[in-house]
Structure formats: structure tokens, C-alpha cells
Structure 1
Amino acid sequence: MNDWRGRSLGTRETTHDETRAILYALAVGAPASALDLVFEKNLRVLPTFALTLAQWAPDELGPAGAFDMSTAVHGSQRLRVRKPLPSAGTVEMRARVGEVWDKGRAAVFEVVVESDYFDATWSIFAPGEGGFGGERGPSSQRRPSTEPDRTLTLRTTGNQAALYRLLGDRHHMHIDPEAAKAAGMPRPFMHGLCTLAAVTLPIAEAHERHPAALSELDGRFASPVFPGDELTIETWSDDGAILFEASVDDRTVLSGGRAVFA
């Protein structure tokens, strides 16, 4: 597995227009009243839109033979914003495998994508690929021991996964009931990146920030969210950052969350 560390995944240019940026905002839950997110006049692009542009990079790793794509899962995500994305234009990206952590029965592959606009890191949990004698890597961020500053509610919509997959992640398990059952799920479920982006909207509003001003974002995908689920989001202020967790009923779905708004 150490042979994968630092391996280049190549470069790619992606071109987007205003329609794609607006579709993204709607797919992650922006309301029609948020005109600067859904109307081409004075449009601001949500920073998490970058993750749809860079999705090609983690998708390269499985076919390259790093792990079994049928069992690997997206464990966590990091985003660091360098400058705002244009409402329309071309973004050049370069990707590589960062660290490969040995968790014993599994390995965690970090896929790093860099551009002039953002840096993003996918952590892919690959069962059966551990035990190669590598370092375990950092532990997951623990829930704060204090009571949350705010408790928010977010209701996902029944068509949210169907909309989000139009941005590029066309894995069948998010739309096809049979594919979801084959993946061990009772029905199609939300993309983790859609859920992570969606929670930044009420967090920004509650903390009197603009969601397009997001500059840093981290989150771990603890369990799946299904379209129509209602999320409870708890937040803590932490030296300029906002820590958060999200749950459905008593089941944690996002943990180790951290957001910074410029």
C-alpha cells in the first residue's frame, strides 16, 4: 500500500456555466428566495460546488486497482477555499494520492485535489486493505464535551438525491432501489457530499454568515441519510470556527464537522 502514497492521478480541466452552479445550489437546498445563489444576476457560487468538479479524482482510484470499489466507502471530506469560483469558466485541477493509513482491517486512502481555487481531500475507507504495517493516522474528531450553542433543523427533500446526481455522481445506489439494496441499503440514499453541503446553509444562516463565504469545511460521514429525512444539527463556536454534528433521530449521520466562514 505504501506504493500508492504520493501517486499522481493526473490533471483535468472542467468547464461549468451559470446553469450548473445554480442547479447545484438548488440540489443542496438553497431556496428560490436566495437570489444570489439561484439567479444569474450577481450570482455567487457555493464553495462546495468545487467538490462536484473534482469528483473525477477519487473515481480514478478504484479502477486503478487501489481497492474494491464495491466495498469502499467515502469516510470523510475536507475543503479549503483559496478564492471564489467563477459563476462560469474553466477550472484546472491536479490530483494525487496523499497518505494511506493502516487501520488494521481496512486502509484509508486520501485523495488530494489542488487548484487555484481550492484544495480538497477525500478520505476513502477500504475494507480488507489494511494490515500492511503502515501508520494508523489521526483519530476522528470527538464530539465537544460542552452543550451545543445552537440546535438547528434541516428537512431534506424527496428528490434531492435525484437532483444532486445530475452534477456528476451517477452511482446507481442514489436513484435505483435495486442498486441500493445490492449495496446493503433499504432504499436509495443521499450523497454524503450533498448532505455535508446542505447543512452549511442553515449553519451559515444561524451564525449570520453567507454560505458562499465558506472558507474551510470538514466532516465525517457516520451513517447514511435518506431523501426526506429531517436532520438535527448541533453547533459549537470554537475560536472563529463552527463545530457541528448532525443526526437523524438518535443516529449520528455527520460527525467531526467544522466550518469557517470568511
Structure 2
Amino acid sequence: MTTTLNAGQWRGVDLGTRTVSYTERDAIIYALAVGAQATELDLVFEERLRVLPTFALTLAQWAPDELGLRGAFDMKTALHGSQELKVLAPMPRNGEITLKASVGEVWDKGAAAVFEVVVESEYFVATWSLFAPGYGGFGGERGPSKPAAPVGEPTVTTELVTSANQTALYRLLGDKHHIHIDPEAAAHIGQPRPIMHGLCTLAASTLPIARELGVHPADLVELSGRFAAPVFPGQSLPIRGWQTDRAVDFELGDAISGARVKFAG
């Protein structure tokens, strides 16, 4: 689909409403795909299941895809710049959720535009920031700059250990882009092998942080982060965090910067 709108004219556009359904099986597969252990029964056993809040992001992935399909940007060159998630209520073990999507702000970075896609429901609000090269220069505001790097020594240190099969499992949840499974597709974007899904990496990083803090990962209420470099399945990356109460500002190696996670309680 093509369009005559410049990037700034997409601000506020309604992307539609969808009702999505899922089962306990879907939520358990998701938990395993982001690193839950078989011993964490309330993440992987349907009779005790607590749904990880970040599972919501797989249910809402249609929204940024919809904006690309409408012709707002070139889907082959656009990049997922950052992600935010605010949790409003715990998600049920199974059922249907109605999601309403729209375009939020559109920032003019000169050589590129940054589109915000906002998905709202009774359980969460999720915001994708999509970096679209070649779509800037429309006279809009530049938008916020990068957050300042944390000061001082980290107070939380741990590690994200990914598995060699992680992308093969995560893609079953709906994001089947070839760069996450096919070496030829990865080579086309200059990568030596398939790369992790950014949302998988961001969500997976919250589990070792929760374990380090002694809190439950399903008690997550806020999450955000900027994607800075690819991660490969099987790679291990250090997590450096700066804690304030149950919120942690963190970095995941050189892959995710300016990140923040907060847990209830």
C-alpha cells in the first residue's frame, strides 16, 4: 500500500481495534521463550500460572506491522528503536483482550523519522518507537534525546544467558521475520547469523534482574529500553543495574541501553 502522507501527518492516525485470544499454552511457551526455568512452576505450570506482563507485547505486535503495511515507512529498512510497557492490571491465564492502536508522536530526526505506535487495553499500554531512515525532514520536532547514562558503580549485577534455540521458540509466538531463523536473511542485513528478537531480549533480561532482587517477574509494572546492537542466540551478556527501591535502571551489554524495569510492591 502506498500513501501521499508525509511522516508528520501520521500523528494520531487510528490503526484499528482487534480482539486477540490466547490460552495457557501460549503464555507458557512465551515464558519458556524468554528464559523461564522448569522449576518456576507459576510460570510454566497451567494450574499455578501467572502470566508474564511482557507477553502482552506479542499480542500487540500487529499494530506496528499495520503502520508499515499502510505505507508510513519502508518495512525493509525501518528499525525497532525502543519499547515501553506500562502494566495496568494482571493479565488472565487465558481469554480475549481488546486492543486499540494508534500512532502517537512522530519525531523528525532530519535524516529519519521516529514513529510511536501506541497500543492500549485494560491490562497494559505499550509503545513502539520505530526508526525510519529517509522519512525525516518534514519540519517536525526532534523529540527527546537519549537519557543520560547512570552515574556511579552499578548496584545490581547479573547476567542474561540466552540459548541457541531461543529465537526458534520465540518466533512461534507470532514474529516470524526471517532474520531470526534464516542465515541467508540475516546475511542480507549484514549479520553473520540469525539474531534475537529485540522484544525477546528485553523481556528476557527482566527475569535475571527479578531473581537478583528476590521479586517475582510477573510483578513487573513498567519496562522500557533502547535497542542498540544485535544479540545472537546462545550469547551471554552482562547486566549492570542501578536500583532505586524496586525500579532498576540497567544496561544489557552493548545491546540495550537506557533501560528501566520496575516491579510492584
Runs of at least 5 residues in structure 1 that lack an aligned partner in the other structure: none
SS in structure 1 of the partner of residue 158 of structure 2 = strand
Find the partner of 2:147 among 141, 147, 151.
Answer: 141
* C-alpha distance after superposition, 1:194-229 (max 9, x if no partner): 000000000011111100000000011010000011
Which amino acid is the alignment partner of residue 190 of structure 1?
Answer: M
Dislocated runs of 4+, deviation >3 Å: none
Alignment of 1:53-202 (within 5 A): 53-202=59-208
Give unpaired runs (5+ residues) of structure 2: 1-6
Q: C-alpha separation between the residues in 1 aligned to 2:15 and 2:86? A: 20
- 1:141 is displaced (CA, Å) by 1.6
- RMSD across aligned C-alpha pairs, in angstroms? 0.8
Q: CA deviation at 1:142?
A: 2.2
> 2:8–2:107: 8 Å Cα contact kept in structure 1?
no
- Residue 262 of structure 2 corresponds to 260
Secondary structure of 1:41's counterpart equals helix
What amino acid maps onto 1:245 in structure 2?
E
The answer for the alignment partner of 2:210 in structure 1 is 204
> C-alpha displacement at 1:145, in angstroms?
1.5
Indicate yes or no: 2:12 matched with 1:10.
no
Equivalent residues, number? 258
TM-score of the superposed pair, with normalisation by structure 1 = 0.97
1:39-61: CA deviation from partner (whole Å, max 9, x where unpaired) = 00120000000000000000111
Distance (whole Å) between structure 2 residues aligned to residue 40 and residue 145 of structure 1: 42
TM-score, normalised with respect to structure 2: 0.96
Read off the aligned partner of 1:51 and give its amino acid letter: L
* Letter in structure 2 aligned against 1:258: R
Per-residue Cα deviation, 1:166-203 (whole angstroms, up to 9, x for no partner) = 00001011000111111221110000000000000000
State the SS of the aligned residue for 2:259: strand
Q: Is the Cα contact below 8 Å between 2:118 and 2:128 reproduced in 1?
A: yes
What pairs up with 1:33-48 in 2 under 5 angstroms?
33-48=39-54
* TM-superposed deviation, 1:239: 5.3
Distance (Å, rounded) in 2 between the aligned partners of 1:256 and 1:131: 26
How do 1:20-39 residues align onto structure 2 when only pairs under 5 Å count?
Answer: 20-39=26-45
Report the secondary structure of 1:188's partner residue: coil
CA distance in 1, matches of 2:245, 2:47: 35
> Which amino acid is the alignment partner of residue 31 of structure 1?
Q
**Contact 2:68/2:74 (CA < 8 Å) preserved in 1?**
yes
SS of 2:255 mapped into structure 1: strand
